[in-house]
């Protein structure tokens, strides 16, 4: 069996690794249009925050590591045309036949509405874009970030750390809207309001980006404001680019490909993973577009288990994230208030301010539990703290995945140490 | 209903809190022989490590906090005699009647074999003992610690931090034997061997402690060695003191009280919790003495749920611990190799060295998984790292409590961030 994977994204690479692990006899080929692979999309942010010294270090896997596993790499090569009935792909080099095809080209932050060919209009998910962005950042003093989701916030925070004057523009009324409720995010808002180098415009939608005169500054126009800056990053919603498939594959209105529970598209033997597809919500009776790296990796791994024979239906995601922005660690999994209208039973929430540990009473964690009011089954957890509490979200994720009630969870064991833990469960 | 709890230990206090939370109408009384309450038994260690400035800060709950919950405290008062048929206790003050009696006096490190009235022979679980120990430590240069379990190791590590010449004596061949296998503990052993101020004697049992001449040094005699020191701590196994009950309660050969699944002793309406009792192992078909604070707290909480009516059988413990000694964070839950002979099916183990995160490749975590070879059900996890990975053990604890297989666990979701997490599950 020959499996061809298009795109050395997190999804594509982990699909290849799992396929080779499960079926060492399988021929696994990755076709990637860049000459290099394994770049971490937030590499620029890691560099700005001085966690790495060069963009090269922002690598989650190397060419060597993949080749050692027996995975065949065809780099610097783009798929140009798909013939699904004959099971081959035309590329910028040779024609490639496949038994199973996995589409893993990922998504991009290109907006059809907000376009500009001004050199200050930047993206950074690809390494070469990060390199260009880095040069421009060095030369710029005033930089705008459009979109205060996770990547927009991480970028804005990193640029402020770097000493830039940052303008952050977001259409929702507060940041990180997809994973946090406004009553949890309070400490972050107050932290941000004290950043003298940060200007925020919430509840403002960008209408237009002007920068036709390539020598001058960029101008960002919202309903209420006109903002001038030397550089601007678009960190709004990402979407896949389906133009290559020429309507041969069924897709949703949000431009994601339709798949079954085993990641197979409307064409037999053609699978799609990562940012090309929606993921079923484990908690709601529907699928959602949730382009997180952990979702991408799991989609690749589970797709690999189903390539030869459909065996493992994907159980879905509960959208677990963890990040650090503006001095605050934030983690979330499961439902937020924005999802409540999609859930068919009554929901209750509880917000607690708990200390980090018996001894560290002054270090606080704000934590919000969301659960089914009738059954008490846990549905969501949100946390914010100045301390690194990110790892805690993984236990709550497991509890939600196991359909545990808050009462059951409160009775479960955990280690106790007066310096590192609280004596009782977070929720009692 | 009047519930009388003897001992303001972690177990006693959390039993009282839960009883009052569940049944606000209930009269709850705690009788405690010390004048103060809420002292954390490792307060001395916290102070030596400069996590607190005064022993007063080593407090897990205050008198005020308990009284505000409506719990009646009788401090500085000892139970002297129990009349179980008439349901009353004689104390050093008044006679106290009860409807339900909860015994929560805890344990102590007093050995019947190793005794000495030398002023350098120290304990520290009680605050006044910690105060005396602290004075003696200040005056001493050479200090011995007998027992390299969790408390002995924490104490030895703290004394070395404080600049003392420490001799650590342990009857087993390596430290932390109850929770770790020798193949996991390697990095700790090598760390300890580089401590110039630490001398270790493993596989040596203390035969005698000589110090009759109160002016001179203490002498600790093992089979192989004779060790002189100015002060010595006994950190060997703790046990309850049952002499007060005058054989009115059934007990095991290890001096723990016999209880049913609801913490009731052989006398009706008399319950025993915390370090007075064994806990059922969730993984083995037997009970074990596992005097951990988290076990004590849970025993108190679950006992409280059963005082009025037996409702919630205790599911047992998987012995979860987390600590930091000699520059290494260590955490463990579930079975270790020492338990294997008690488990009736074949067991397999897997040791991995994983990086802390995609970016932090040089920071390592050594992790050992123990699981049922046939069913793949997870039975134990041990971790060691220079980084604070303690919180991770709580997720594995939940997985073991949920009887999850390693394959199921590998498919569960977790957050991804290149700086704080790995892209794939620890075990794949």
Q: What is the mean pLDDT of chain B?
A: 94
Does B208 fall in a domain? yes
Q: Choose among B173, B181, B186, B152: nearest CA to B385.
A: B186
Compare CB distances from A412 to B57, B392, B401 and report the shortest one's residue: B401
Least confident of A18-32, A47-61, B229-243, B327-341: B229-243
* Domain match, B229 and B281 both: no
What would you measure as the largest C-alpha separation in chain B, in angstroms? 67
Name chain A contacts of B19, Cβ cutoff 8 Å: none
Closest approach of B326 to chain A, Cα-based (Å) = 16
Tokens of A86: 């004959």
- Let me know whether A131 and A90 are in one domain: no
Which residue among B293, B393, B415 sits closest to A320, beta carbon to beta carbon? B415
| CATH number of the domain where residue A200 is located | 3.50.50.60
Strands A206-210 and A218-222: what pairing?
A: antiparallel
Q: How far apart are CA A165 and CA A5, in angstroms?
A: 42
Q: How many independent structural domains does chain B possess? A: 3
Query: In this predicted model, what pLDDT tens digit does every residue of B162-206 receive, in sequence order?
Result: 999 999 999 999 999 999 999 999 999 999 999 999 999 999 999
Q: Same domain for A290 and A351? A: no
Q: Which of A202, A234, A266 is the last residue of a domain?
A: A234
Q: Say yes or no for a CB contact (<8 Å) between B397 and A414.
A: yes
Q: Kindly list the residues from chain A whose CB atom is less than 8 angstroms away from the CB atom of residue B321.
A: 415
Instruction: Kindly state the DSSP code that residue B137 receives in the 8-state scheme.
Output: H
Count Cα atoms within 13 angstroms, Cβ side, for B351. 13
Q: What is the mean pLDDT of residues A229-241?
A: 90
Both B206 and B266 in a single domain? Answer: no
Mean of pLDDT values over B314-332: 96
- Give B261-285 pLDDT, tens digit per residue: 999 999 999 999 999 999 999 999 8
Contacts for A309 with CB less than 8 Å, ≥ 6 apart: none
Q: Do B390 and A323 touch (CB under 8 A)?
A: no
B414 touching A (Cβ < 8 Å):
yes
* B414 neighbors A394 (Cβ within 8 angstroms): yes
Option in A51, A395, A401 nearest B394 (CB): A395
Does residue A257 lie within any of the structural domains?
Answer: yes
- pLDDT at residue B376 above 80? yes
A·B CB contacts under 8 A: 162
Give the count of alpha carbons within 13 A of B199, CB side only: 12
Split at pLDDT 50, 70, 90, the class of A427 is: confident
For position A62, what pLDDT does the model report?
95
In this prediction, residue A110 carries a pLDDT of 66
Do the Cβ atoms of A413 and B294 come within 8 Å?
Answer: yes
Q: Are B331 and B390 in contact (CB under 8 A)?
A: yes
Secondary structure class of B298 (helix, strand, coil):
helix
Give the closest-approach CA distance of A226 to chain B in angstroms.
34
**Min Cα separation A186/chain B (Å):** 22
Contacts of A306 in chain B (CB under 8 A): none
Model pLDDT, residue A167 = 97
Q: Which chain A residues are closer than 8 Å to B411 by Cβ?
A: 298, 301-302, 315
**What confidence score (pLDDT) does residue A227 get?**
93
A424 contacts B297? CB cut-off 8 A: yes
Q: Are B94 and B84 in contact (CB under 8 A)?
A: no
Give the domain range for residue B337.
321-411
Domain-embedded: residue A426: no
Tell me the helices (H) and strands (E) count for chain B, helix number first: 9, 23
HEC assignment per residue over chain A: CEEEEECCCHHHHHHHHHHHHHCCCCEEEEECCCCCCCECCCHHHHHHCCCCCCHHHCECCCHHHHHHCCCEEECCCCEEEEECCCCEEEECCCEEECCEEEECCCCECCCCCCCCCCCCEECCCCHHHHHHHHHHHHHCCEEEEECCCHHHHHHHHHHHHCCCEEEEECCCCCCCCCCCCHHHHHHHHHHHHCCCCEEEECCCCEEEEECCCCCCCEEEEECCCEEEECEEEECCCCECCCHHHCCCCCECCCCCECCCCCCECCCCCEEECHHHECEEECCCCCEECCCCHHHHHHHHHHHHHCCCCCCCCCCCECCCEEEEECCEEEEEEECCHHHHHHCCCCEEEEEEEEECCCCCCCCEEEEEEEEECCCCEEEEEEEEECCCCCCHHHHHHHHHHCCCEHHHHHHCCCCCCCCCCCCCCCCC
CA distance A188 to chain B (A): 19
Q: Is A243 domain-assigned? A: no
Give how far B139 is from chain A: nearest CA, Å: 27
The complex's ipTM? 0.95
Q: B198 and B172: one domain?
A: yes
**Confidence band, pLDDT 50/70/90 cuts, at residue B378:** very high
- Examine the pLDDT at B110 and tell me if it is beyond 70: no
Residue B97 or A111, more confident: B97
pLDDT at B242 over 80: yes
Q: Kindly list the residues from chain A whose CB atom is less than 8 angstroms away from the CB atom of residue B402.
A: 398, 402, 404
- Judged by CB atoms closer than 8 Å, whether chains meet at A419 and B51 is answered as yes
B297 close to B311: Cβ distance less than 8 angstroms: no
Is the pLDDT at B421 greater than 80? The verdict is yes
Domain boundary among A234, A258, A278: A234
User: Residues A359-365: what's their mean pLDDT?
Assistant: 96
From the list A10, A40, A420, the residue facing B390 with the nearest CB is A420
Mutate which: A415, A422, A426, vs B, most B CBs within 10 A: A415
B55-104 pLDDT per residue, tens: 999 999 999 999 999 999 999 999 999 999 999 999 999 999 999 999 99
pLDDT at B211 over 90: no
Q: Tokens 């569940």, residue? A: B22
**B363 touches A: beta carbon within 8 Å:** no
User: Which tens digits make up the pLDDT trace of A246-287?
Assistant: 889 999 999 999 999 999 999 999 999 999 999 999 999 899
**Shortest CB distance from A413 goes to which of B51, B298, B389?**
B298
B424 touches chain A (CB under 8 A): yes
Instruction: Return the minimum-mean-pLDDT range out of A5-9, A73-77, A136-140, A424-428.
Output: A424-428
Give the β-pairing of A121-122 and A231-234. parallel
Query: Is A427 part of any domain?
Result: no
Q: List, edge to edge, every strand of the sheet that includes B218-222.
A: B206-210, B218-222, B226-229
pLDDT at B216: 79
> What DSSP line would sit under B66-121, residue for residue?
HHHTT-EEE-S--EEEEETTTTEEEESS-EEE-SEEEE----B---SSS----TTE
> Same domain, yes or no, for A125 and A218?
yes
Residues 6+ apart with CB under 8 A from B65: none
The distance of Cα A385 from the centroid of its chain, to the nearest Å, equals: 21
Taking the Cβ of residue A50 and every Cβ of chain B, the question of whether any pair is shorter than 8 Å is answered with: no
Question: Based on the domain organization, do A301 and A339 belong to the same domain?
Answer: no
Mean pLDDT of B344-362: 96
Q: Which residues sit opposite B210 in a β-bridge?
A: B219
Q: Is A125 in the same domain as A230?
A: yes
Task: Say if A133 is an interface residue toward chain B (CB within 8 Å).
Answer: no
Do B129 and B100 belong to one domain? no
In a domain, B424, yes or no: no
Å between A7 CA and nearest CA of chain B: 17
pLDDT (0 to 100) of residue A328: 97
Q: Give A415's contacts in chain B (Cβ within 8 Å).
A: 294, 320-322, 331, 333, 390, 393-394, 397
* Residue of B98, B308, B20, B323 whose CA lies nearest to B188: B323
Please indicate, yes or no, whether residues A30 and A95 belong to a single structural domain of this protein.
yes
**Domain check: are B127 and B22 in the same one?**
no
Distance CA A240, CA B13 (A): 57
Residues B296, B332 within the same domain: no
Q: Which of A14, A21, A399 sits opposite B398 (nearest CB)?
A: A399
Distance between start and end Cα atoms, chain B: 53
B316: left (phi over 0), alpha (psi -120 to 50) or beta: left
Alpha-carbon distance of B272 to B263, in angstroms, equals 6
- Nearest neighbour of A322 by CB, restricted to B315, B402, B415: B415
B391 touches chain A (CB under 8 A): yes
Q: What is the mean pLDDT of residues A296-317?
A: 95
- Which tokens go with A348? 């209750």
**B310-326: average pLDDT:** 95
Q: Would B394 be classed as within a structural domain?
A: yes
Query: Which range is least confidently modeled, A214-223, B216-225, B269-278?
Result: A214-223
Beta strands B100-103 and B2-6: pairing type?
Answer: parallel
Of residues A10, A411, A414, nearest to B394 (C-beta): A414
Q: How far apart are CA A14 and CA A300, in angstroms?
A: 5
Tell me, yes or no, whether B416 lies in a domain. no
From the list B302, B359, B388, the residue facing A46 with the nearest CB is B359
In the sheet that holds B88-91, the strands lie side by side as B79-83, B88-91, B95-97
Any A CB within 8 A of B52 CB? yes
Looking at residues B127-138, what average pLDDT do you find?
Answer: 95
Residue of B nearest to A15 (CA): B424
Kindly report, residue by residue over B26-35, the tens digit of the pLDDT: 999 999 999 9
CB within 8 Å: B421 and A390 = yes
Q: Which residues of A touch B301 (CB under 8 A)?
A: 411, 424
Region A154-177: mean pLDDT is 97
Task: Name the band, by pLDDT with cuts 50, 70 and 90, for residue B427.
Answer: confident
Share of chain A above pLDDT 90, in %: 89
Residue of A nearest to B18 (CA): A428
Residue A418 has its nearest CB partner, among B46, B302, B402, at: B46
Tell me, yes or no, if A317 comes closer than 8 A to chain B by beta carbon.
Answer: yes
């Amino acid at each position: 069996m020959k499996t061809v994977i298009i795109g050395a994204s997190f999804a594509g690479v982990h699909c290849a690794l799992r396929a080779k692990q499960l079926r060492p006899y399988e021929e696994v080929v990755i076709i990637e249009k860049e000459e290099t692979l394994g770049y971490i999309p937030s590499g620029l942010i890691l560099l700005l925050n001085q966690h790495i010294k060069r963009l090269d270090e922002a690598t989650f896997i190397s060419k060597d590591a993949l080749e050692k596993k027996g995975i065949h790499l065809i780099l610097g090569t783009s798929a140009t045309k798909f013939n699904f009935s004959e099971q081959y792909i035309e590329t910028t080099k040779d024609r490639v036949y496949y038994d199973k095809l996995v589409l893993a080209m990922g998504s991009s932050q290109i907006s059809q509405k907000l376009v500009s060919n001004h050199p200050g209009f930047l993206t950074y998910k690809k390494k070469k874009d990060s390199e260009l962005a880095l040069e421009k950042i060095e030369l710029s003093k005033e930089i705008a970030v459009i979109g205060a989701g996770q990547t927009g916030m991480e970028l804005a925070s990193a640029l402020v750390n770097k000493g830039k004057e940052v303008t952050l523009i977001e259409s929702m009324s507060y940041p990180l809207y997809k994973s946090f409720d406004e009553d949890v995010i309070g400490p972050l808002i107050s932290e941000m309001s004290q950043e003298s180098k940060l200007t925020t415009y919430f509840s403002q939608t960008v209408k237009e980006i002007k920068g036709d005169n390539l020598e001058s500054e960029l101008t960002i126009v919202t309903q209420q404001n006109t903002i001038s800056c030397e550089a601007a990053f678009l960190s709004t919603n990402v979407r896949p680019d389906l133009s290559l498939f020429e309507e041969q594959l069924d897709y949703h209105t949000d431009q994601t490909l339709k798949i079954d529970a085993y990641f197979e598209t409307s064409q037999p033997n053609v699978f799609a993973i990562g940012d090309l597809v929606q993921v079923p919500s484990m908690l709601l009776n529907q699928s959602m577009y949730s382009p997180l790296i952990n979702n991408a990796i799991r989609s690749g791994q589970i797709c690999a288990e189903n390539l030869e024979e459909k065996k493992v239906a994907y159980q879905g995601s509960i959208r677990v994230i963890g990040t650090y922005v503006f001095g605050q660690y934030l983690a979330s999994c499961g439902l937020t208030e924005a999802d409540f209208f999609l859930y068919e039973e009554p929901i209750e929430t509880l917000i607690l301010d708990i200390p980090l540990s018996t001894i560290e009473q002054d270090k606080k964690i704000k934590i919000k539990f969301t659960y089914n009011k009738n059954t008490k089954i846990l549905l969501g957890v949100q946390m914010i703290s100045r301390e690194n509490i990110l790892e805690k979200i993984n236990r709550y994720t497991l509890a939600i995945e196991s359909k545990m009630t808050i009462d059951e969870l409160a009775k479960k064991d955990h280690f106790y140490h007066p310096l590192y833990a609280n004596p009782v469960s977070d929720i009692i």
